[in-house]
Amino acid sequence: MKKCLILLMVVLLALSLTGCFGWFQKKDENLIGVAMPTQSLQRWNQDGANMKAKLEEKGYKVDLQYANNDVNTQIQQLENMITKKCKVLVIASIDGSALTEVLRKAAENNIKVIAYDRLIMNSEHVDYYATFDNFQVGVIQGKYIEEKLGLKTNAGPFNIELFAGSPDDNNAYFFNGGAMSILQPYIDEGKLIVPSKQTEFTTIAIHGWDSADAQARMDNLITAHYAGGRKLDAVLSPNDSLAIGIVTSLKNAGYGTADKPFPVITGQDCDKANVIAMINGEQSMSIFKDTRTLAAQVVDMVEAIMKGEEAPVNDTKTYNNGVKYVPSFLCEPVYADVNNYKELLIDSGYYTEADLQQ
């Protein structure tokens, strides 16, 4: 018996040393690194969980990491993934311009890189980019305001305040560009007025997409420009984390009554708290970017890369990261509001009714 055991151990050792022990080998050969920015926003938790589940379904091992919105933590996590010999890195960056050095290391190790949702800037080592059409996100938000205020037909003027996302996130410029492509002509014509006169991206941007900072800026705007009873008709908010702060500020200032109704407020991500705010008539709309669609697209990209093939893309001319145009796959965003959220979010299985209980 003892002899048998020793013999078995010797055979196992020999197999693993010669690389024939497939199971152990497979572990490394199939490892995919997924680096997400933070767990503090619902969408990234969903993105991470969807990616992991879908990759595991296809037989990959997944190293999923969240970096607490801290750039150095994300760099360290990527370095670990390189050391562990991940074959592909899927990265939703925190600061799109801070990864040049670590991506150089990835390339030296023949690791392919997919930028997830946010473009990674200033590096030739970004192989693919998968995202929702970010300019279109802004266009839909702008058009929603245009429609709800009836800007095409009503004389106005209407008062609006503008917010933008984090300056270190390339997406923020596209969201703003898309929305302003619709709203700017009305501002030029005087049908839309920005009483604060704050329209420059750098002035209206909220670093780190922080809800509390958006709330503080809205507090200041209300105090400085709306204290005398001036009506606020719309607030352009690029996403849900900003919209939550804006709504809180407005509520504290007494908005949400017949005399002082909530303005039209836009958003993005359809986070649960924001869908509830839509049901309550506090937020008007939110762009729905089905994270299942994006994850499925990225899994297709990973599969193609692992087979040594070109990954599927549908855009090669929009996303220049400062060094090159990154081959991209753009998914189509849509919007949810109180009229269609059931069909879009519940019937599609994205949320259950219970998820959206107050």
When asked if residue 248 is in the footprint of ligand BGC (CB under 6 A), the reply is no
When asked if residue 294 is in the footprint of ligand BGC (CB under 6 A), the reply is no
The H or E element containing residue 65 is strand 61-66
> How much of the chain is helix, strand and coil, in % rounded to 5?
45, 15, 40
Round to the nearest angstrom and report the end-to-end CA distance of the chain.
65
When asked if residue 237 is in the footprint of ligand BGC (CB under 6 A), the reply is no
Contact track, ligand BGC, 302-341, x by CB under 6 A: ----------------------------------------
When asked if residue 298 is in the footprint of ligand BGC (CB under 6 A), the reply is no
- The residue from 133, 168, 233, 269 that contacts ligand BGC (CB under 6 A) is 269
Nearest residue (CB) to ligand BGC, 249 versus 268:
268
Task: Give the integer Cα–Cα distance in Å for 135 and 2.
Answer: 69
Residue nearest to ligand BGC (CB): 239
- The residue from 54, 112, 118, 125 that contacts ligand BGC (CB under 6 A) is 118
When asked if residue 290 is in the footprint of ligand BGC (CB under 6 A), the reply is no
Minimum CB separation from ligand BGC for residue 48, in Å? 13
Nearest residue (CB) to ligand BGC, 115 versus 299:
115
- The residue from 133, 169, 213, 290 that contacts ligand BGC (CB under 6 A) is 169
When asked if residue 41 is in the footprint of ligand BGC (CB under 6 A), the reply is yes
Residue in this structure with the two tokens 């007025």, named with its chain if needed: 193
Dihedral sign (CA 144, 219, 254, 252): positive
Provide the token pair at 270.
Answer: 């359809």
Residue in this structure with the two tokens 């937020």, named with its chain if needed: 283
Please state whether 324 falls in left (phi above 0), alpha (psi between -120 and 50) or beta: beta
Provide the token pair at 41.
Answer: 């926003």
Minimum CB separation from ligand BGC for residue 298, in Å? 14
